[in-house]
């Protein structure tokens, strides 16, 4: 078998394996902007990496500059800001919502979990946590809406 054919076969098998296991299929690197002193942001980034995303952590002394650069509305601000495949992921967004965003590719600027909800990913991962994930509208777009809900299992 020639080298190109082996690479093709290996790539095809890897792709089928990723699809079958439900692993991440994002095309780019997830840049995570965070305060250098923030441990919960590190935990969130570690969880994204463990889920299969290629993560690049970027420590920023002034996060307000980052929020402005990516047009995160003040009422949607969270602890850290991530960017992947053209979407902004603001705050402690759960893995399931990130997967949904990248699979559905809605016409929004991104998604956000405002503040730092107790029990959210990176903030304790409490199965009894209850909070909402909101859309971040594109400039001039509609208001933010609830995109995903985290509720305790019954």
CA-wise closest residue to 120 among 85, 90, 82, 144: 90
The residue ranges of every structural domain in the chain are: 27-150
Q: How confident is the model at residue 26 (pLDDT cuts 50, 70, 90)?
A: low
d(CA 23, CA 121): 18
Question: pTM (2 decimals)?
Answer: 0.80
Q: What is the pLDDT of residue 124?
A: 86
| Residue pLDDT, tens place only, 109-127 | 999 999 998 888 888 878 8
Q: Which CATH number fits domain 27-150: 3.40.50.300, 3.30.750.210, 3.40.30.10, 3.90.1150.170?
A: 3.40.30.10
Q: What is the pLDDT of residue 17?
A: 33
Can you tell me whether residue 14 is helix, strand or coil?
A: helix
| Residue pLDDT, tens place only, 34-54 | 999 888 888 999 999 999 999
């Amino acid at each position: 078998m020639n080298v190109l054919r082996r690479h093709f076969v290996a790539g095809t098998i890897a792709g089928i394996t990723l699809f079958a296991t439900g692993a991440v299929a994002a095309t780019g690197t997830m840049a995570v902007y965070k305060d250098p002193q923030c441990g919960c942001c590190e935990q969130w980034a570690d969880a994204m990496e463990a889920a299969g995303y290629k993560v690049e952590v970027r420590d920023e002394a002034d996060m307000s500059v980052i929020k402005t650069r990516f047009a995160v509305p003040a009422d949607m601000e969270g602890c850290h800001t991530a960017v992947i495949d053209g979407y902004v992921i603001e705050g402690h967004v759960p893995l399931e919502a990130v997967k949904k965003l990248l699979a559905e590719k809605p016409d929004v600027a991104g998604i956000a979990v405002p503040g730092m909800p107790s029990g959210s990913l990176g903030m304790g991962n409490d199965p009894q946590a209850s909070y909402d994930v909101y859309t971040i509208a594109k400039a001039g777009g509609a208001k933010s809406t609830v995109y995903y809900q985290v509720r305790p299992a019954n």
